[in-house]
Structure 1
Amino acid sequence: MSLEKGKVMAVKKKEDFGAMAPETDNKDLDVEQKEIENQEESQPKTVTLTMDELKKLIAEEVEKAKPKSGQVNEDKAPEKFESDQEKKEREYYEELVEVELFFDGVKYKDDVIVNINGKAWQIQRGVPVKVPRFVKEVLDSSAKQDAATRRMVQKLTADFVEKTRLYIK
């Protein structure tokens, strides 16, 4: 756009543009302003302390954290006392029992690893070994689960074969 010499281009004032801008709700602006202020307040503030002031603050906090006389420190776990029944039960499950896992040299040839509460036992197949009773119970439970799975697979396979016989001739 070129202007000829002597002609002045008309310029709109800022107020004239207000009519063209989309109307905004002042409530939205207030909400945004409050959110910005809240974010600024939540930002950590920098504090300058001398070393002596810092040591004094730390000492005060340590004193506040110390239990007062006659007060029980809640951080300590209370001592656990077992009844005779609980002690007998624990001893029963910790008693060593002999286990010998099936070994065939083909499919069942690898060692079995049992993990219970962060402790692990590696049990060699085909060799009688002594393990705590609770480990044997886990092995027995696993064997029962395997047998139940085998039965379920056989049942589902038989059902599938029966249903598909109608379509296969």
Structure 2
Amino acid sequence: MKKSMITKSSLSLLLFLEYSIPAIAGTPQLNLDCKSTSSPNMIISGYPRGEGYDLKIKMENATLSYIDKCKDPNCSNHEKQGNLFVVEALNKKVFTLYFVVNVDGVGDVFMGQFYALPDSVKYTQTPHGYRAQYKAIYDGADPRSKSDPKAYLSHPIELSCSQQEEL
């Protein structure tokens, strides 16, 4: 009788550890992948939050990067470029990114926004997070611009996006 009690306790502990360790060991990582639905061609990809961010906005041969990440486990080598702010509740059809850069002598400058079109959001809960597909609008800095700060695009660009956040 005592032996089966130990077995049940051991099993409970193993199940607890199996389902608890992923939550303790890491932060869910959000991955974003978007492509423009028409010309000009634009790709937005990366991870816009979690343990930092690394998001790239590409047009033709030009890339605009927003980065805040550690390059080593102790974070003694840190990379930072621009600021990214996220408003997210995709299960309620909300996802918005705001882009800001610091310009010498001026301070923080708003460089644009990216937002999901609520009526297009298809959200699916998964065992370890979620997945979503939606159309989005990018209205902001043109990666091809040579000015500092970057000039804005002449018109917003619509993109088709897939996004997932899972452990």
TM class by shorter chain equals under 0.3
Higher helix share: 1
Higher relative contact order (CA 8 A, sep 6+): 2
Higher strand share: 2
Larger radius of gyration: 1
TM-score in terms of structure 1 length: 0.19
